[in-house]
Chain A
Amino acid sequence: MYKLHLILKYLRKRRIAWVSLIAVMLCTTMVLVVISVMGGWLRMFKESFHGLSGDIIVHGESLAGFPDYQEMIDELEKRPEITAVVPTIETFGLININDLQKAGVVVIGYPIDQIGKVNRFPQSLFRQYQQYLDDAESGTHTPAEREKLRQDAAWYVQHPTFDLPLSPDTYRSLQPNAVKLGIEPATYPGMIMGSGVLGIHKEKNGQDMVRPERLYELWVKLLVLPISGDKAPTNLEQDKTEKTFWIVDDSRTKIWQNDRQSVYIPFDVAQKMLGMDEHHYTDADTGQPAVDPARTRDLQVDVKPGVSLQAAKQVVELIVEGVQSKREQAAIAAGHPLEETYPIDVETWEESQQTFITAIEHEKVLVTVLFSLISVVAIFLIFCIFYMIVVEKTKDIGIIKSVGATSSGVAGIFLGYGLAIGVCGGFMGLLLGYLIVHNINFLHTEMGKLLGIQIWNPEVYAFDTIPNTMDPKEVSIIVGIAVISSVLGALLPAMRAARMNPVEALRFE
């Protein structure tokens, strides 16, 4: 009883102990914020990258891609482990947006009606998804209207499209010169722009995004370089392909690098522009007609939930190798062995991003170690303060012992004192850490306004928002370590107090 009573008294009366409490609180907060931001960053990184690719990617190592992909898709979709396979194309291009902006971009060809089966691209679209959710959250609607808006958003996720949002007459009015030349502007295909390409991203001080007006009235001219599947040399004068598009939507994946340099076009259009569609030609060596099969750059494979990705990857590898082998054997049987091979790599989504994920994981470990070292200072601080308290309380220790307290009881007072400081400091640190992490983007914005500094640079950290979630497991471990550290800091002074001779303690001046 006396231990608890004295601990509570000392907590209230000994203000020097509050320094320990504040030290524990600040260290806990510091480590919590760092670990939460780093851990959240890693989680965001994984989720976002996984959200933009299938579980397994069959990747053509060459920009030329690989053929027979439809056969691969048919074979793969027969497997029970696999739910969907969607071909995609990725290449590089130059764009001219309405003569307002010219830039180099990554061009991604998506079969938009299928892409939602393998990734969350449809949820990144503004016009066809996010605007309905934003509208629903705006608070200007009745509950029924909000529900309707959410249903609209859900419908668009299932039915994303490159279709033009404006009437044909509007497009004609926007390009009168093209009409005069007999070109029908309303037949231009649609292009979805990465939000960053259009300058739609959070300002450096964290302000809300600004959207250009009349965005869907802008045309975009795209220039790409087709890469033949055969060995014919590329003629830059002739082989370039240029095509005009209308902007139909913008995508914000929240991955800065993606959003600032990617444009999305229909898969079949990309295939044609790059010469990756099936086409017939005359073989220069034999003079015989030949067929260049349709090619894709990637296959995004969605694996059934619960199936091991490594096991599914082996299945995919076997099927891909089987299809490739069949093609080679058919060519040998026809008497003209294939001169060109299409190297294909099969990897899980994590393997495809391993370079980044490993780097972030290592950075997280490094930062954790560094901040943990700083936190060790708190243990020494507690040790010093408790040592001072024990010296200051020497006479009290003698009194308590003279009244019958055992040595373990006296040690218990100071260990309990350390525990109380650890528990209070740990939980106060948790509270402060939660408030900081939860409002970190607001704080970052305000700091940006006030001091003109930007700590979280999206160009460096890949995301335009700072992660603001805490992992309960990590929180438990950090608070637990804070409590244990406090007890450890109090351990030696407690042992010293326990060993004190009561008579010497009573005589202490």
Chain B
Amino acid sequence: MTIADVQSSPRRPSTSPIVRAQGIRKTFRMGESAVTVLKHVDLSVKRGEFLAIEGRSGSGKSTLLHILGALDEADGGSVEYEGVDVLSLNGSARSKLRNKSFGFVFQFYHLLPELNVLENTLLAAMIEFSWLTFRSNRVALRAKAAEVLDQLGMGHRLKHRPSQLSGGERQRVAIARALMNEPQVLYADEPTGNLDVETGTQIMGVLAKLHRDKGQTIVMVTHDRTIAHQADRVLVLREGRLQTPGESAEIQP
């Protein structure tokens, strides 16, 4: 199976794993000292599943998410997306995967300050299409971005800049940007970590609705057990390994 096949595959409920990781290892080196954050991580994510990975700060959960999302490389092990070994892909193919198949939501929103809400949302589409294609489909793409934003309750703030938005609004825009290219998997890295409880609950409501209504596959990492337990399944990252809560190893569904 090629990346092209992966990208063209329709989103459908399935029990087959869409993402599978085996034996992932990751060590950070700073001078002579080395810290191994991921010792041997095995993971399987089913299509349409809402998986939460819980862990303390510094446990390596964000690193695991970055590796699963082809943002970072592992020192060992493999990550398969739709049967394709992500870690063996070249930089360009990984970029394409991040653009078309994966969506990212970060704790600190990471919106481009020079772009307004609509432009930030359109960023993934701008990267996907050439100038000519984008220009010719501009109206449809803008309408789609506006619709996504509207569904997230941001339809009235299309022309605002990130600096003019609240934390919750920024995170909604970040979710809209992640959803713009209709990703197969949405990776959320502490999506409520920078928000107050009420706003965090609203954002979790958005993710839960996406999962429930559209069958969106979501992999979320969080340090907040309450937040984590809103997912279908929770795994705990402890001492570089994934465990089910209260267990010493992951329990396969």
Do A and B come from the same complex?
A: yes
Q: Point out residues on A near B: beta carbons under 8 Å.
A: 1-2, 4-6, 9-10, 13, 395-396, 398-409, 501-503, 506
Contact B127 A403 (CB under 8 A): yes
Q: Interface on chain B toward A: helix, strand, loop, or mixed SS?
A: helix
* B63 CB contacts on chain A under 8 angstroms: 503
A403–B66 Cα distance when bound, in Å, is 12
Q: A10-B114, A396-B112 are in contact. List 16 more A-B contacts (CB 8 A).
A: A1-B135, A2-B126, A5-B126, A6-B112, A9-B115, A399-B110, A400-B112, A401-B95, A403-B104, A404-B97, A404-B98, A405-B99, A406-B91, A407-B91, A506-B106, A506-B110
Contact of A402 among B104, B126, B134, B135 (CB under 8 A): B104
* B91 CB contacts on chain A under 8 angstroms: 406-407
Contact A404 B127 (CB under 8 A): yes
* B123 CB contacts on chain A under 8 angstroms: 2, 400, 403
Q: Point out residues on B near A: beta carbons under 8 Å.
A: 63, 66, 71-72, 91-92, 95-100, 104, 106, 110-115, 119, 123-124, 126-131, 133-135, 177, 181
A406–B90 Cα distance when bound, in Å, is 10
Q: From residue B237, how far is it (CB to closest CB) to chain A in Å?
A: 17
Which of A10, A401, A402 has the most CB atoms of chain B within a 10 A radius of its CB? A402
A99–B42 Cα distance when bound, in Å, is 114
A402–B181 Cα distance when bound, in Å, is 13
Which of A10, A398, A405, A406 has the most CB atoms of chain B within a 10 A radius of its CB? A406
- The chain A residue sitting closest to B67, CB to CB, is A503
- The chain B residue sitting closest to A502, CB to CB, is B71
Q: From residue A352, how far is it (CB to closest CB) to chain B in Å?
A: 59
Q: From residue A277, how far is it (CB to closest CB) to chain B in Å?
A: 82
* B99 CB contacts on chain A under 8 angstroms: 403-405
Minimum-distance CB pairs A-B, first 9: A404-B99, A2-B126, A1-B134, A406-B95, A9-B114, A1-B126, A404-B98, A1-B131, A399-B110
Q: From residue B1, how far is it (CB to closest CB) to chain A in Å?
A: 20
* A13 CB contacts on chain B under 8 angstroms: 114
* A405 CB contacts on chain B under 8 angstroms: 95, 99, 127
Q: From residue B123, how far is it (CB to closest CB) to chain A in Å?
A: 5
Contact B95 A404 (CB under 8 A): yes
Contact A409 B127 (CB under 8 A): yes
A to B CB contacts below 8 Å, 17 in the list: A5-B126, A10-B114, A398-B110, A399-B110, A401-B95, A402-B71, A403-B177, A404-B95, A404-B97, A404-B98, A404-B128, A404-B181, A405-B95, A406-B95, A501-B72, A502-B72, A503-B72
